[in-house]
Chains A and B, each alone.
Chain A
Amino acid sequence: MKVKLLFAVILLLLLSSLSFAQDDSAEIDTSAVVEELVLPAPPGNLSGVDKPNDHGHSIDLSWELSPDDGGGLNTVLQYDIYHWVPNLMLELNLVRDSISVIQKIIRKTTNGIIEGSQADSMKKVFEKLSRSELFDVRNSLTEYVKKGNKGLAEACKSYPEGGAWLFLDKKPSGTSTFDHIGSKEFKSSGFVPDFANLYYRVDAVTADGAKASSNILGPIQSSGQWYNTFRTPVVFSVLLFTLLTVFFVQKARKGADLYVRPLGGIEAVDDAIGRATEMGRPILYVLGLGSAADIATIASFTILGRVAKKVAEYQTELLVPTYDPIVMTVAQEVVKSAYLDAGRPDAYKEDTVHFVTQSQFAYVAAVNGIMLRELPATNIYMGKFFAESLILAETGALAGSIQISGTDEIAQIPFFIVACDYTLIGEELYAASAYLGKEPVLLGSLKAQDYAKAAIIVLAVIGVILAQFDFGTEFVNLFEVVN
Chain B
Amino acid sequence: MEFSDFLWMTCGIFLTLATFSFLYKDNPFYKFAEHLVVGVSAGFTIIVLWHGTLVPNLFQKLEDGNWFMLWLNSSEWWYVVPAVLGLLMWTRFSKKYSWVSRWPMGLYIGISTGIAIPLEMSNRVNKQLYAMMVEIDWANFFGGNILSTTSGFAQLLIFLGTIAGLVYFFFSKEHKGVFGGVATFGIWILMIGFGASFGYTVMARVSLFINRMQDTKAWGVEAFNASDVANPHYSSMYPIVFYLLVAFVVGYIIKEIMDHLKRKNA
Contact A450 B31 (CB under 8 A): no
Residue ID in chain B nearest A236 by CB atoms = B126
B108 touches which of A241, A258, A326 (Cβ 8 Å): A326
Contact B108 A295 (CB under 8 A): no
A329 touches which of B89, B129, B130 (Cβ 8 Å): B89
Contact A460 B159 (CB under 8 A): yes
The contact string, 1 if C-beta is below 8 Å from chain B, for chain A 323-337, is 000100110110000
A241 and B126 CA atoms in complex are apart in Å by: 12
Contact partners of A357 in chain B: CB under 8 A: 38-39, 41-42, 45
List 12 additional contacts besides A361-B37, A446-B171, A467-B136; criterion CB under 8 Å.
A237-B121, A260-B172, A295-B120, A326-B105, A356-B38, A359-B42, A365-B37, A460-B163, A463-B129, A464-B134, A479-B130, A481-B127
Contact partners of A135 in chain B: CB under 8 A: 63-64, 75
B198 at the A interface (CB under 8 A): yes
The 3 A-B residue pairs whose C-beta atoms are closest, nearest first, are A463-B133, A293-B112, A359-B41
Would you give the shortest CB distance from A120 to chain B, in whole angstroms? 23
Contact B171 A459 (CB under 8 A): no
Would you give the shortest CB distance from A219 to chain B, in whole angstroms? 34
The contact string, 1 if C-beta is below 8 Å from chain A, for chain B 104-120, is 01001101110111101
B5 at the A interface (CB under 8 A): no
B243 at the A interface (CB under 8 A): no
Contact partners of A106 in chain B: CB under 8 A: 63
A41 at the B interface (CB under 8 A): no
Contact B121 A366 (CB under 8 A): no
Contact B64 A359 (CB under 8 A): no
B232 at the A interface (CB under 8 A): no
Would you give the shortest CB distance from A390 to chain B, in whole angstroms? 9
Within 8 A of B (CB), among A138-159: 138-139, 142
A463 and B133 CA atoms in complex are apart in Å by: 5
A–B pairs, 15, beta carbons within 8 Å: A234-B122, A237-B122, A293-B112, A329-B89, A330-B109, A332-B92, A361-B37, A365-B38, A413-B194, A414-B194, A425-B169, A431-B171, A446-B172, A459-B129, A466-B133
A333 and B19 CA atoms in complex are apart in Å by: 34
Contact partners of B22 in chain A: CB under 8 A: 368
Contact B116 A366 (CB under 8 A): no
Contact B194 A467 (CB under 8 A): no
A130 at the B interface (CB under 8 A): no
B245 at the A interface (CB under 8 A): no
Contact A427 B112 (CB under 8 A): no
Contact A457 B167 (CB under 8 A): yes
Contact A373 B121 (CB under 8 A): no
A476 and B101 CA atoms in complex are apart in Å by: 48
The contact string, 1 if C-beta is below 8 Å from chain B, for chain A 277-302, is 00000000000000011110010000
Within 8 A of B (CB), among A80-124: 106-107
Contact A358 B41 (CB under 8 A): yes
Contact partners of B132 in chain A: CB under 8 A: 460, 463-464
A481 touches which of B60, B117, B122, B159 (Cβ 8 Å): B122
A54 at the B interface (CB under 8 A): no
A interface vs B, CB < 8 Å?
A: 106-107, 132, 135, 138-139, 142, 231, 233-234, 237-238, 241, 258-261, 263, 292-295, 298, 326, 329-330, 332-333, 356-359, 361-363, 365-366, 368-369, 372-373, 411, 413-415, 417-418, 425-428, 431, 446-447, 449-450, 453-454, 456-457, 459-461, 463-464, 466-468, 476, 479-481
A359 and B163 CA atoms in complex are apart in Å by: 39
The contact string, 1 if C-beta is below 8 Å from chain A, for chain B 216-232, is 00000000000000000
A328 and B92 CA atoms in complex are apart in Å by: 11
B252 at the A interface (CB under 8 A): no
Contact B172 A298 (CB under 8 A): no
B38 touches which of A231, A362, A467, A476 (Cβ 8 Å): A362
B94 at the A interface (CB under 8 A): no
B260 at the A interface (CB under 8 A): no
Contact A259 B172 (CB under 8 A): yes
Contact partners of A414 in chain B: CB under 8 A: 194-195, 197-198, 201
Residue ID in chain A nearest B191 by CB atoms = A417
Most buried by A among B126, B133, B166, B169: B133
Query: A241-B121, A418-B198, A461-B163 in contact; A450/B113 too (CB < 8 A)?
Result: no
Would you give the shortest CB distance from A12 to chain B, in whole angstroms? 19
Query: A234-B118, A365-B38, A372-B26 in contact; A460/B129 too (CB < 8 A)?
Result: yes
A7 and B121 CA atoms in complex are apart in Å by: 56
B237 at the A interface (CB under 8 A): no
A362 touches which of B30, B37, B167 (Cβ 8 Å): B37
B33 at the A interface (CB under 8 A): yes
Contact partners of A446 in chain B: CB under 8 A: 171-172
